């Protein structure tokens, strides 16, 4: 295994010393800002943003010429596997991987073993996240006790303990009545209900997208309809209750159309797009490549185009990685037996920058909107802005840095990515959380 | 040794990656091997000193025995490993299986597995030749080859022949191998069966679809009748065996409406009275026993070619009967 890069923290400057980012292109759509400016962080807060700022005593001055300075990136959909899956990832390794990918905060999915369905478990994740000292870790709690889809978990207690949302991700809420209760009940706590939209009847037995590739490979398919039906159900129940539904990893053309229409009607819906559903089709499964096995599955070209369009026009307002680490020997199995999911924290920024911003599909401002501003808004998180007084969470990207994805160098415990070997332009060079440098590219 | 078209690589995983010429070469190579089975001493020394493991993760008496006959008639040393049940047996993964086989320096592995892609998985990890004896719903290339040989023997040629595969296409590796092989050799191919058992996008492979078996019978020169696995009924794809037989079963009464005499194939084992009636299975148009005979010849040809044999030398290779 190669040497892991970037593990060193910036120890040359005292923790909590002011930082002045000088002369970078500051992109902050929360205040419609895109221009060369200085940014000063003092005492864990944004102190000033402007031209020709002078450095206070003891401040670290970072020359940001040619670099992009943005509000810290937030990934609201990651699986950190702790407790129960520590051989795949821990809260610490996951939070460090996030920082290395330019993320200053992540939303931790509660489908661990045991699941995070009570306030004590939420407090455990929160504390482990703080100990990690890297990206902020915001726990999500389960919708239902044990993610069994039967009765509501203690949502109020979990929110009081620090949960920022609720979800049974990995186990779609199949009971529409329960989804109604969740959407009604969660409203008073101001947290969204995040759902993995999949009708398990329609997707039964499926290992990949339904279509010609699956038919040729002799693998069972999950039709788009399995996702479409569930998205429509969630939208309709959200409309009924006035609750906030957050649709996870949306991958289908019809589903995106339905979200677009629901937004136009004023339904409270936010939705995720993942890098892999915008960059790969089900042809990546060819040869039974388990690193391309995920749920929802990689879909057709038409769906990929629809996800990109939805991401561009804001129907899918949040970029999320669905970071899903798996131990290598779990993936080295027959396709049907291998688990779903890929890691994404250390590749997302480069992929989005190189493949969507680079060719002009979206501009930098939209990228920051989808990767920082909107996720913060959707989950009511601090951050997502560089306004004076906001938390000093900052990501600095070198847009010209050309690098090749090498899974062996990931800080994540797991290396399961279909993007290994991709050459990208654009990489986080510094990640700052609460005014502390938590990661810096050597 | 000069590679010929018949040298299709290290492994035989499926017919999809092969060219028409490669498939024809295998069938031609099988011809001289047919005759060995008719001899009093059914053995030639072509694979003497080679070790072959027949690794069956799914029970299959007939395919295993057919391979074993083929191997023994070519004088190979064979070991049978039969592990029934799930794809991962007692925690041993396919990777471990592959590593163990590699450590034992096996020349060839014949593998049957319940997971699609399992044969390729193994082939990518060991230097031995791997022959796919059926992987999940993916392919069963030697079955496809023996069906092709049987159709060629009985219709004179495959080009232009109209072949309909009847039954559960969704779960059938036999169907996929037949479709690839037949189309590459110029046949017209159709599938027929319950719509619940037709895979999405199958028409994009270039096959016609008939929902009613009467239409298929009217159209076809040959029917390849697939076994209906009884668990398809338990999982609700078809309501009952009786209804399946009534709607898609091949009976003498149905065949009477055929405008021409139809060739009837079945990969076995048969559910008599479900997908095929006994009078058809045992009738004069049934070539089901030819399939069994051709199965051994085709598998000898595949083993011979993978071991590096030249198709044009197959005739002389079979000459040296062991004394
Ligand atoms: Zn999910």
pLDDT tens digits for B11-20?
A: 999 999 999 9
Q: Which residues in chain A have Cβ-Cβ distances shorter than 8 Å to B117?
A: 217-219, 288, 334-336
Query: What is the model's pLDDT at position A65?
Result: 97
Tell whether the model's pLDDT for residue B312 goes beyond 80.
no
- Length of chain B equals 323
Phi, psi angle pair for A193, to nearest 5°: -100, 115
DSSP B155: H
Q: Residue B180: pLDDT band by 50, 70, 90 thresholds?
A: very high
Q: What percent of chain B has pLDDT over 90?
A: 76
Compare CB distances from B115 to A221, A329, A334 and report the shortest one's residue. Answer: A334
Query: What is the model's pLDDT at position A14?
Result: 60
Q: Pick the residue of B85, B91, B98, B116 with the most A CBs within 10 A to test the interface with A by mutation.
A: B116
Query: What is the model's pLDDT at position B291?
Result: 95
The nearest CA of chain B is from the CA of A253 a distance in Å of 18
Nearest chain A residue (CA) to B98? A333
Per the model's pLDDT, the better-predicted residue between B313 and B226 turns out to be B226
**A55 at interface of B, judged by CB pairs closer than 8 A:** no
Compare CB distances from B204 to A210, A212, A217 and report the shortest one's residue. Answer: A212
pLDDT tens digits for B14-66?
A: 999 999 999 999 999 999 999 887 787 778 889 999 999 999 998 888 999 99
**Mind telling me the catalytic residues of A?**
322
Distance A344 CA to ligand 1 centre (A): 14
Tell whether the model's pLDDT for residue B87 goes beyond 90.
no
**A18 at interface of B, judged by CB pairs closer than 8 A:** no
Tell whether the model's pLDDT for residue B84 goes beyond 70.
no
Distance between CA A416 and CA B115 in Å, rounded? Answer: 21
pLDDT tens digits for B213-252?
A: 999 999 999 999 999 988 887 788 999 999 999 999 999 9
B91's CB contacts (< 8 A; 6+ apart) are none
Distance A249 CA to ligand 1 centre (A): 7
**A221 at interface of B, judged by CB pairs closer than 8 A:** yes
Nearest chain B residue (CA) to A217? B138
Q: What is the rounded average pLDDT of the residues A282-298? A: 97
Axis crossing angle, helix B173-184 with helix B141-155, rounded to the nearest 10: 50
Q: Which residues in chain B have Cβ-Cβ distances shorter than 8 Å to A219?
A: 116-117, 136-138
Distance between CA B204 and CA B118 in Å, rounded? Answer: 24
Q: Which residues in chain B have Cβ-Cβ distances shorter than 8 Å to A214?
A: 199-201
Distance between CA B77 and CA A300 in Å, rounded? Answer: 47
Q: Domain A6-70+389-440 has what CATH class? A: mainly beta
pLDDT tens digits for B287-302?
A: 999 999 999 999 999 9
Q: Residue B323: pLDDT band by 50, 70, 90 thresholds?
A: very low
Tell whether the model's pLDDT for residue A157 goes beyond 80.
yes
Q: What percent of chain B has pLDDT over 70?
A: 93
B40's CB contacts (< 8 A; 6+ apart) are none
Cα A144–chain centre separation: 22
The nearest CA of chain B is from the CA of A218 a distance in Å of 4
pLDDT tens digits for B113-167?
A: 999 999 999 999 999 999 999 999 999 999 999 999 999 999 999 999 999 999 9
**Is A343 in contact with A412 (CB distance < 8 Å)?**
yes
B14 three-state secondary structure: coil
Compare CB distances from B120 to A212, A288, A337 and report the shortest one's residue. Answer: A288
pLDDT tens digits for A21-47?
A: 999 999 999 999 999 999 999 999 999
Query: What is the model's pLDDT at position A4?
Result: 44
Tokens 């096996």 belong to B106
Query: What is the model's pLDDT at position B235?
Result: 85
pLDDT tens digits for A94-108?
A: 999 999 999 999 999
**3-state SS string over chain A?**
CCCCCCCCCCCCCCCCCCEEEEEEEEEEHHHCEEEEEEEEEECCEEEEEECCCCCCCCCEEEECCCCEEEECEEEEEECCCCCCCCCCCCHHHHHHHHHHCCEEEEEECCCCCCCCCCHHHHHHHHHHHHHHCCCEEEECECCEHHHCCCCECCHHHHHHHCCCCEECCCCCCCCHHHHHHHHHHHHHHCCCEEECCCCCCCCCCCCEECCHHHHHHCCCEECHHHHHHHHHHHHHHHHHHCCCEEECCCCCHHHHHHHHHHHHHCCCEEEEECHHHHHCCHHHHCCCCHHHCCCCCCCCHHHHHHHHHHHHHCCCCEECCCECCCCHHHHCCCHHHCCCCCCCCCCHHHHHHHHHHCCCCCCHHHHHHHHHHHHHHHCCCCCCCCCCCCECCEEEEEEEEEEECCHHHCCCCCCCCCCCCCEEEEEEEEEEECCEEEEECC
B23 three-state secondary structure: helix
CA angle A420, A411, A98 (to 5 degrees): 95
CA distances from residue A38 to A433, A438, B278, B307 in whole angstroms, order as listed? 18, 20, 87, 71
pLDDT tens digits for A140-154?
A: 999 999 999 999 999
Query: What is the model's pLDDT at position A270?
Result: 98
Query: What is the model's pLDDT at position B160?
Result: 97
pLDDT tens digits for A317-367?
A: 999 999 999 999 899 999 999 999 999 999 999 999 999 999 999 999 999
What sign results for the dihedral spanned by CA atoms B216, B221, B225, B226? negative
pLDDT tens digits for A188-229?
A: 999 999 999 999 999 999 999 999 999 999 999 999 999 999
Cα B12–chain centre separation: 12
Would you call A12 exposed, middle or buried from its count of C-beta atoms within 10 A (0-12, 13-18, 19+)?
exposed
Distance A206 CA to ligand 1 centre (A): 15
**Cβ-defined contact of B88 to A219 (cutoff 8 Å):** no
**A302 at interface of B, judged by CB pairs closer than 8 A:** no
Q: Which of A168-182, A254-268, B225-239 has the lowest mean pLDDT?
A: B225-239
Tokens 């072509």 belong to B46
CA angle A218, A223, A227 (to 5 degrees): 145
Average confidence score pLDDT of chain A: 96
B222-225 and B162-166 beta bridge pairing: parallel
Give A370's Cβ-side CA count (13 Å radius): 30
Q: Residue B257: pLDDT band by 50, 70, 90 thresholds?
A: confident
* Start-to-end C-alpha separation, chain B: 28
**Cβ-defined contact of B176 to A218 (cutoff 8 Å):** yes
B307 three-state secondary structure: coil
**Cβ-defined contact of B137 to A216 (cutoff 8 Å):** no
B303 three-state secondary structure: helix
Would you call B1 exposed, middle or buried from its count of C-beta atoms within 10 A (0-12, 13-18, 19+)?
exposed
Distance between CA B264 and CA B286 in Å, rounded? Answer: 5
Q: Which of A176-180, A255-259, A283-287, B91-95 has the lowest mean pLDDT?
A: B91-95
Question: How many CB pairs below 8 Å do chains A and B form together?
Answer: 73
A6-70+389-440 and A72-378: same fold? Answer: no
Distance between CA B171 and CA B186 in Å, rounded? Answer: 24
Query: What is the model's pLDDT at position A8?
Result: 46
CB atoms within 10 A of CB B279: 13
Q: Where are the domains of chain A?
A: 6-70+389-440, 72-378
B10's CB contacts (< 8 A; 6+ apart) are B123, B127, B129, B130, B306
Q: What is the rounded average pLDDT of the residues A356-382? A: 98
DSSP B187: -
The nearest CA of chain A is from the CA of B118 a distance in Å of 6
Tell whether the model's pLDDT for residue A2 goes beyond 70.
no
Query: What is the model's pLDDT at position B4?
Result: 57
Question: Under CATH, domain A72-378 is a member of which superfamily?
Answer: Metal-dependent hydrolases (3.20.20.140)
Q: What are the beta bridge partners of residue A209?
A: A222
């Amino acid at each position: 295994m190669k040497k892991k890069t970037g593990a060193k923290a910036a120890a040359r400057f005292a923790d909590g010393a002011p930082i002045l980012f000088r002369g970078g292109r500051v992109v902050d759509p929360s205040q419609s800002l895109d221009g060369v400016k200085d940014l000063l962080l003092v005492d864990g807060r944004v102190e000033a943003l402007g031209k020709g700022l002078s450095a206070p005593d003891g401040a670290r001055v970072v020359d940001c010429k040619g670099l992009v300075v943005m509000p810290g990136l937030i990934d609201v959909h990651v699986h950190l596997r702790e407790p129960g899956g520590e051989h795949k990832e821990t809260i610490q390794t996951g939070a460090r991987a996030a920082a290395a990918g330019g993320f200053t905060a992540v939303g931790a999915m509660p489908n661990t073993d045991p699941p995070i369905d009570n306030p004590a478990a939420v407090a455990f994740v929160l504390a482990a996240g703080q100990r990690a000292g890297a990206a902020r870790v915001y726990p999500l709690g389960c919708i239902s006790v044990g993610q069994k889809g039967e009765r509501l978990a203690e949502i109020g207690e979990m929110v009081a303990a620090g949960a920022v949302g609720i979800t049974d991700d990995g186990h779609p809420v199949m009971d529409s009545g329960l989804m109604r209760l969740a959407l009604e009940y969660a409203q008073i706590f101001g947290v969204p209900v995040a759902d993995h939209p999949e009708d398990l009847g329609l997707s039964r037995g499926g290992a990949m997208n339904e279509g010609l590739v699956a038919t040729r490979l002799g693998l069972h398919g999950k039709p788009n309809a399995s996702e479409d039906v569930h998205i429509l159900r969630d939208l309709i129940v959200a409309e009924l209750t006035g609750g906030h539904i957050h649709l996870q990893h949306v991958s289908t053309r019809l589903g995106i159309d339905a979200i677009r229409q629901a937004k136009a009607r004023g339904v409270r819906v936010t939705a995720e797009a993942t890098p892999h559903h915008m960059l790969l089709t089900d042809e990546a499964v060819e040869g039974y490549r388990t690193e391309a096995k995920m749920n929802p599955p990689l879909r057709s070209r038409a769906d990929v185009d629809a996800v990109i369009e939805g991401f561009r026009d804001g129907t899918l307002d949040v970029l999320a990685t669905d970071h899903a680490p798996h131990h290598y020997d779990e993936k080295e199995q027959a396709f049907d037996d291998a688990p779903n999911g890929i890691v994404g924290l250390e590749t997302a920024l480069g992929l989005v920058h190189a493949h969507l911003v680079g060719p002009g599909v979206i501009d930098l401002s939209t990228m920051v909107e989808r990767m920082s501003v909107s996720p913060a808004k959707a989950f009511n998180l601090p951050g997502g802005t560089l306004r004076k007084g906001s938390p000093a969470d900052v990501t600095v990207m070198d847009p010209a840095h050309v690098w090749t994805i090498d899974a062996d160098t990931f800080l994540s415990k797991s290396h399961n990515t279909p993007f290994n070997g991709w050459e990208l332009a654009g990489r986080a060079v510094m990640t700052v959380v609460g005014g502390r440098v938590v990661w810096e590219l050597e | 040794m000069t590679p010929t078209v018949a040298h299709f690589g290290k492994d035989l995983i499926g017919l999809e990656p092969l060219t028409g010429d490669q498939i024809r070469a295998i069938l031609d190579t099988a011809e001289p091997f047919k005759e060995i089975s008719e001899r009093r001493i059914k053995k030639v020394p072509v694979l003497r000193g080679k070790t072959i493991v027949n690794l069956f993760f799914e029970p299959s008496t007939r395919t295993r025995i057919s391979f074993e006959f083929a191997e023994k008639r070519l004088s190979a040393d064979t070991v049978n490993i039969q592990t029934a049940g799930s794809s991962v047996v007692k925690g041993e993964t396919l990777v471990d299986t592959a590593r163990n086989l590699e450590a034992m320096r096996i020349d060839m592995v014949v593998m049957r597995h319940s997971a699609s892609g399992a044969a390729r998985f193994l082939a990518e990890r060991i230097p031995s030749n791997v022959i796919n004896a059926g992987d999940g719903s993916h392919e069963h290339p030697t079955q496809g080859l023996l069906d092709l040989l049987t159709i060629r023997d009985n219709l004179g040629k495959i080009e232009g022949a109209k072949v309909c595969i009847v039954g559960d296409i969704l779960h059938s590796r036999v169907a996929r191998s037949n479709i690839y092989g037949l189309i590459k050799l110029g046949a017209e191919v159709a599938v027929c069966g319950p719509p619940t058992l037709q895979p999405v996008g199958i028409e994009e492979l270039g096959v016609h679809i008939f929902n009613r078996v009467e239409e298929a019978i009217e159209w076809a020169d040959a029917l390849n009748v697939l076994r209906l696995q009884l668990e398809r009924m338990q999982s609700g794809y078809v309501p009952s065996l009786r209804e399946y037989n009534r709607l898609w079963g091949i009976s003498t009464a149905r065949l009477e409406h055929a405008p021409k005499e139809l060739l009837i194939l079945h990969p076995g084992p048969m559910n008599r009275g479900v997908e095929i009636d006994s009078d058809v299975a045992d009738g004069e148009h049934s070539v089901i026993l030819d399939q069994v005979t051709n199965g051994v010849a085709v598998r000898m040809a595949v083993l011979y070619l993978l071991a590096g044999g030249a198709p044009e030398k197959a005739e002389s290779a079979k000459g040296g009967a062991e004394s």
